[in-house]
């Protein structure tokens, strides 16, 4: 049980707590040599790097158990991976191809939404429906507008609402078109099974700290080495020439340990469905019937709830909850420190969700080990704030 004085952490989508095995792997790797060195010490370091690479490959291997480890390219994080992948210059089947156009989803993380290396005029932001699912008609219009090669980049699961995009339907829309698919799986990996082959993507993006590794490490996993973007960082031959620079071995080792832990958790005995999200949403609906759960009718991550309440500004609620010992988010961690509305909330309001986009949303995201008592405490504190805001709103209207 959590006491009133104990802090609770409900912001796993921003960064999951460091796993003990990831910490141990990082510490053990700190004293190792450069993994590019050919002496015994270098070879020992290289073995640690390749062990981590295999663990990451297994995490996205799906039905074949393991993706080719050589297709895993370690980066400094998901943002670097997205920047490399969102480039007009690709090799397709080993031949250089220019992709003059890019489509992204309006509600996606800024790492993809901002278009990477594409000129702003070349980027199409696809609208979403009331649940935050991409508008397939808009996607079809973009895909069929020209025969020029294109790139479609999307977050598989939205970081703020947890909404999961329908990959099968998306693949059907772009089938037969010269469109490469880049999939940001940073929020999916480690929480739900990821099968690279089944996604139909040319590349997926992973982030270490979203699954309990150190911050500062991510990966690109390619479906085929012959189809990939040109290197973003050039100079050395590290990562098989696809990402120059001495590997951050402690971070990579922690990533491998976290990926291995995630694989064990996902491949273990099937447990009853996780009902904590359903319980949380049911409590909010009963106690605060005016509240809106974003994306409620869509398929979503089992650990994520985004809620808006009339009259309650998310930034204000986040600060008050923090003072009450409850850590939550008012949006993506990459932008929640900025003053201004969430682009996700704004897009859903535009799609017809009856909310004030200026309020923003409170995002609750928890982990496998989060106890129900922590969610109960959030509900109590959030209800108190919402009722106070509602009472003030009523007084203001009466005045």
Q: What is the dihedral of CA 166, 169, 173, 176, to 10 degrees?
A: 110
Q: Which of 188, 159, 183 shows the shortest CA–CA distance to 82?
A: 183
Tell me the pTM.
0.93
Residue 67's pLDDT is 78
Residue 267's pLDDT is 83
Tokens found for residue 259:
């990926």
Each residue's pLDDT, cut to its tens digit, for the chain (399 residues) gives: 455 569 999 999 999 999 999 999 999 999 999 999 999 999 999 999 999 999 999 999 865 566 789 999 999 999 999 999 999 999 999 899 999 999 999 999 999 999 999 999 999 999 999 999 999 999 999 999 999 999 999 999 999 999 999 999 999 999 999 999 999 999 999 999 999 999 999 999 999 999 999 999 999 999 999 999 998 999 888 998 899 999 999 999 999 999 999 999 988 765 555 789 999 999 999 999 999 999 999 999 999 999 999 999 999 999 999 999 999 999 655 554 554 679 999 999 999 999 999 999 999 999 999 999 999 999 999 999 999 986 666 556 555
Q: Cβ neighbours of residue 9 under 8 Å, at least 6 residues apart?
A: 17, 327
List active site positions. 334
Residue 334's pLDDT is 56
DSSP SS3 for 119: coil
Q: Determine the length of the chain.
A: 399
Residue 341's pLDDT is 74
Tokens found for residue 360:
């923003």
DSSP state string for 234-283: -SS-GGGGTS-S---HHHHHHHHHHHHHHHHHHHS-------HHHHHHHH
């Amino acid at each position: 049980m959590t006491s009133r004085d104990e802090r609770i952490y409900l912001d796993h989508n921003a960064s999951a707590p460091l796993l003990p095995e990831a910490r141990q792997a990082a510490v053990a790797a700190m004293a190792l040599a450069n993994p590019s060195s050919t002496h015994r010490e270098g070879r020992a370091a290289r073995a640690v790097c390749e062990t981590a690479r295999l663990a990451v490959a297994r995490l996205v291997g799906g039905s074949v158990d393991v993706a080719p480890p050589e297709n895993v390219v370690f980066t400094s994080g998901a943002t670097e991976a997205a920047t490399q992948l969102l480039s007009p210059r690709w090799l397709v089947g080993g031949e250089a191809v220019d992709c003059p156009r890019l489509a992204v989803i309006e509600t996606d993380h800024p790492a993809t939404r901002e278009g990477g290396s594409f000129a702003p005029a070349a980027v199409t932001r696809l609208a979403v429906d009331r649940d935050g699912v991409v508008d397939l008609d808009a996607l079809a219009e973009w895909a069929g507008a020209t025969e020029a090669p294109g790139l479609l980049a999307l977050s598989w699961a939205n970081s703020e609402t947890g909404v999961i995009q329908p990959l099968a339907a998306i693949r059907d829309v772009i089938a037969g078109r010269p469109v490469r698919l880049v999939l940001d799986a940073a929020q999916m990996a480690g929480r739900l099974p990821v099968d690279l082959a089944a996604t139909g993507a040319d590349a997926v993006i992973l982030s270490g700290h979203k699954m309990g590794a150190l911050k500062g490490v991510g990966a690109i996993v390619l479906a085929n080495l012959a189809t990939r973007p040109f290197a973003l960082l050039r100079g050395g031959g590290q990562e098989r020439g696809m990402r120059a620079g001495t590997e951050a071995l402690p971070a990579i080792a922690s990533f491998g340990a976290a990926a291995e832990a995630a694989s064990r958790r996902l491949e273990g005995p099937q447990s009853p469905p996780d009902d904590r999200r359903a319980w949380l949403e049911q409590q909010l609906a009963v106690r605060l019937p005016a509240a809106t759960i974003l994306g409620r009718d869509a398929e979503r991550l089992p650990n994520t709830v985004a809620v808006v309440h009339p009259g309650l500004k998310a930034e204000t609620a986040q600060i008050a909850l923090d003072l009450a010992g409850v850590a939550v988010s008012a949006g993506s961690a990459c932008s929640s420190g900025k003053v201004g509305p969430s682009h996700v909330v704004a897009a859903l309001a535009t799609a017809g969700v009856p909310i004030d986009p200026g309020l923003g949303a409170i995002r609750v995201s928890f982990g496998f080990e989060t106890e129900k008592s922590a969610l109960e405490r959030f509900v109590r504190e959030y209800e108190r704030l919402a009722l106070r805001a509602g009472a003030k709103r009523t007084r203001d209207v009466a005045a």
